[in-house]
Structure 1
Amino acid sequence: MTLVLASGSRIRGDLMRNAGLDFEVCPSDVDERAVEAPLLKSGATPEDLALILAEAKANDVSERRAGDLVIGADQVLAFNEQRFTKPDDMEAARRQLLSLSGKTHELISSVVISRDGAAIWRHSSIARLTMRDLSPAFIGHYLANAGDDILCSVGGYQLESLGVQLFKRIDGDYFTILGLPMLPLLDQLRALQVIES
């Protein structure tokens, strides 16, 4: 049995490697927007979206990896009945940051373990983040220095680098903010006897 990460995310891979996990990377082919479109129409909550997308990714890869344990993850940013995805370009990132300036939003990170095309474990965690009041000039300076890497993150920031300067308060788990709730995941991998307890 092999442990597989169904994501090409550098940050998720780094978190797992830094925790000492031995795994392979096999990104999912799931079209996230196609999966979430009917969910949004039906009024699914942000937590529902994150969990269903994480499960879709894990199941997609586990159908091709018989017997292996596949980890799928997804993150949703919820703010005032809106859902933010990864910005398409720097202008979209600028608009998102202006919207979030001085306000609190939630990051919902879900993780699912699947085997043979079916989920065997699911978990979601929520973090609440409050941004400082950001001037348009500061946002422009931040975007110029942070670079295109922020386009890989919902909300247009990466807390593990310059994005930390955007915030005045954070309530929640650091790993949830980075997009992979590591502590519950490690507990489950111990329960499944994948890693030593």
Structure 2
Amino acid sequence: MILASKSPRRKEILENFGFNLKIKTKEIEEVSSEEDIIEKIKDISNKKAYEIANENKNEFVVSADTIVCIDNKILGKPKNQEDIYNMLRKLSGRSHEVITAFSIININKNIYYSDVEITKVFFNEISDSEIKWYIDTKEPFDKAGSYGIQGKGALFVKRIEGDFFSVMGFPLGKFLRSLKKLNIDLNCLEKL
């Protein structure tokens, strides 16, 4: 199976389950003309998979895209420390949604599938000194919403409703159920 993502978290989640992965990525502009937030991130996930699948028509290609959404606004990856500060201030003491879309494509088998998982995350109140400390760890710079639940960002999380792995960047449970729907046998994991 080809993972069309540079995310070490996605790689870790899938390999820990037993998938034999090759990593192949292409730089794409992560934009979509879709209006609806769900359709927008599914579209971006599909674009990532198609780019690789078109050159690997006999392979299963998997991709994903994760966003943080609060007040109907998308919080992507921060550009700088000010972005991190502003995002974490906005998330402090509130709940937000982490939306992860994934796609699986195998062109020769005519498989084109995409789905989405939405998890609600509740944050504790965050102090300015905690935000400064977190920025100094360098962890938030490549994370949607400026935090990683699996790392030091766990300090901010009060609780979640939904899939922990989705917040990490890949909804493993829904992905596995999707493979079953597509009649892809989990006994063939090492071959995927």
Give the TM-score, by structure 2 length: 0.89
* Aligned twin of 2:93: 102
Deviation for aligned residue 1:167: 1.6
- Report the secondary structure of 1:126's partner residue: strand
How has the CA–CA distance of structure 1 residues 56 and 194 changed in structure 2, closer, same or farther, with 3 Å as cutoff? farther
* Aligned twin of 1:25: 23
* Aligned twin of 1:58: 49
Contact 2:134–2:140 (CA under 8 A) maintained in structure 1? no
- Report the secondary structure of 1:133's partner residue: coil
What are the within-5 Å matches in structure 2 for residues 38-77 of structure 1?
A: 38-39=33-34, 44-77=35-68
AA in 2 matched with 1:185: F
CA deviation string 1:50-97 (max 9, x = no partner): 111111111111001121110010012111021111001222111110
> Which of 123, 130, 143 is the matching residue for 1:138?
130
* Aligned twin of 1:14: 12
CA deviation string 1:117-148 (max 9, x = no partner): 9762211100011111112122112222x31x
Contact 2:77–2:141 (CA under 8 A) maintained in structure 1? yes
Q: Does residue 170 of structure 2 align to residue 180 of structure 1? A: yes
**1 CA distance for matches of 2:133 and 2:169?**
25
- Report the secondary structure of 2:20's partner residue: coil
> Which of 145, 149, 155 is the matching residue for 1:165?
155
**2 CA distance for matches of 1:130 and 1:140?**
20
AA in 1 matched with 2:73: Q
Which region of structure 1 is more displaced relative to structure 2, 11-20 or 114-123?
114-123
AA in 2 matched with 1:168: K
Contact 1:7–1:26 (CA under 8 A) maintained in structure 2? yes
Contact 1:90–1:143 (CA under 8 A) maintained in structure 2? yes
Contact 1:127–1:176 (CA under 8 A) maintained in structure 2? yes
- Report the secondary structure of 2:27's partner residue: coil
Contact 1:84–1:155 (CA under 8 A) maintained in structure 2? yes
**1 CA distance for matches of 2:187 and 2:48?**
23
**1 CA distance for matches of 2:90 and 2:80?**
16
* Aligned twin of 1:121: 113
Deviation for aligned residue 1:184: 2.2
Contact 1:86–1:154 (CA under 8 A) maintained in structure 2? yes
Give the TM-score, by structure 1 length: 0.87
Which runs of 5 or more residues in structure 2 are unaligned?
none
- Report the secondary structure of 1:187's partner residue: helix
> Which of 177, 185, 190 is the matching residue for 1:193?
185
Q: How many residues align?
A: 186
Which runs of 5 or more residues in structure 1 are unaligned?
none
**1 CA distance for matches of 2:82 and 2:55?**
38
Contact 1:46–1:108 (CA under 8 A) maintained in structure 2? no
- Report the secondary structure of 1:75's partner residue: strand
